[in-house]
Structure 1
């Protein structure tokens, strides 16, 4: 499996949602789900921002001459059903469903044609930028996809490839990979776990644990804090959410 991340940067007047987001920089939209067949597309989006921005977004979804995901910027005759599912202070959850006509298309439909079935989509919209993350098979025709998408987008948006990476299943760390902490930090961390220092409530406090290990309290505290910091940094470095993809990596 591979992960493909790219962005479309819409020109003014080419996409109603992008126009609203460009006018309300504090608002964002991310997909909660997005599904496609050859004949239709349906999705649920989660928007955040102040009330005026959400009002404008809801209006853009409801009243546009064409569906917000359609790459045809004229009335293509598609039936588009848009329903707000939830509206609270600062958030809007909105459902969209539309059936294709012979002249309309979208990013997911082009992906379906060139990348195959079983695709997973994740999106985020900030300003005029529409970032797409697609999980696809290794055999997918990515070059064909981009060539076809560039034709469909035309002059309405710029395209930027952000990342294309292989996805591999998690595996247990090798002995060398696991040996990322100095021995004294590993021993302190192991003892803290074994004696219940990380339980809720704690079975032992730091002073008691230091006494059992025959260490000064300050030394034990330093070793645990350094071990925790390194493990936290490794965890964050391995976690790459869509929101962090503002530039190519």
Structure 2
């Protein structure tokens, strides 16, 4: 397997979708799941931002003026379906389907044409940049794919090659609480179950320690270690490993409140 990562930067006014992310820099989206075939693409995406930004994104998705995965000049008259399947304050999970019809040259379709089937895609949008991550069976055809992506670019878009190599993002980022040591996993799960992370807290650290039959200092240590791992894993997805390590190192001076 091979991993191919590249970014596309957008000037203001050239893409209605990316304009929303530029107008609201705090807004961020990430693909949760994506299925790509020659005749269409199905995607599950999580978007976070202000309610104003989310409403503006709804307007773009409800009546798209262009394919959100296309970067060129080709006409793209496709079937499009979009639905919010879960939402909370400041975030939502959306399902979308877009058919590949006519002369629609989306990034996923070009990937299939040049490297074959079995492509997994993930995107992350923030500000003026959309980062594409492709997991491929091999790297045959990648040079041709990148060349065509460069040729497809309409004015106002800039593409940058980031990485081609053995999979790292897809393995390093596929983390779950199950990877924590059992005692840390149990501490986090109990803290969530009993409302320790609610505002205001439903249980104090001392009471939670009594429920788990451990000392208060032991529970505090386990939660601190687990929280550091969770934050590092989360930040690495958004910032990359170097910046993430620096952020966690700086944040390591923080301590859990007494109660």
TM-score after normalising by structure 1: 0.68
Q: For residue 104 of structure 1, report the CA deviation from its aligned partner.
A: 0.9
Residues 155 and 197 (structure 1 numbering): CA distance in 2 closer, same or farther, change over 3 Å? closer
Shift of 1:163: 1.9
Question: Secondary structure, in 3 states, of the residue corresponding to 1:14?
Answer: coil
Q: How does 1:124-143 map to 2 (within 5 A)?
A: 124-143=124-143
Q: Which moved more, 1:19-28 or 1:102-111?
A: 102-111
Give the drift of 1:143: 0.7
Alignment map for 1:104-123 (pairs within 5 Å): 104-123=104-123
1:130-209 equivalence runs, <5 A: 130-167=130-167, 201=212
CA deviations on 1:56-115 (whole Å, 9 max, x unpaired) are 111111122123223356762212111121222101222211112221111111111112
Does the 8 Å CA contact 2:44/2:93 hold for their aligned counterparts?
yes
Report Cα offsets for 1:25-53 as digits up to 9, x if no partner.
Answer: 11111111112111111111111011001
1:243 lines up with 2:238 in the alignment: yes
Once residues 246 and 128 of structure 1 are traced to their aligned partners in structure 2, the CA distance between those partners, rounded to angstroms, is: 21
Cα distance 1:88–1:143, how it changes in 2: closer, same or farther (>3 A)? Answer: same
Give aligned pairs, total.
Answer: 202
C-alpha separation between the residues in 2 aligned to 1:100 and 1:141? 21
Give the distance between the partners of 1:88 and 1:197, measured in 2 at CA: 28
Q: Which residue does 2:35 correspond to in 1?
A: 35
Structure 1 match to 2:15 = 15
Distance 1:105 1:202, change over 3 A: same
Farther-moved stretch of structure 1 (67-76 vs 42-51):
67-76
> Could you list the runs of 5+ residues in structure 2 that have no partner in the other structure?
172-180, 188-211, 243-259
Deviation of 1:206 (Å): 9.2
Alignment map for 1:52-91 (pairs within 5 Å) = 52-72=52-72, 76-91=76-91
| CA distance in structure 2 between the aligned counterparts of 1:118 and 1:15, rounded to whole angstroms | 29
**Structure 1: gaps (5+ residues):** 171-192, 208-223
Which position in structure 2 is the counterpart of 1:4?
4
Change (3 A) 1:3 1:206: same
Task: Check the 8 A contact 2:71/2:154 in 1, yes or no.
Answer: no
Given that residues 133 and 242 in structure 1 are in contact (C-alpha distance below 8 angstroms), is that contact kept between their aligned partners in structure 2? no
Shift of 1:18: 0.4
Q: In structure 2, do the counterparts of structure 1 residues 203 and 141 end up closer, same or farther at CA, with 3 Å as the change threshold? A: same
The RMSD of aligned alpha carbons is 3.6
Shift in Å, 1:140 = 2.5
Kept in 2, the 8 Å contact 1:22–1:128? The answer is yes
Give the TM-score normalised by structure 2.
0.65
Q: Counterpart of 1:181?
A: none
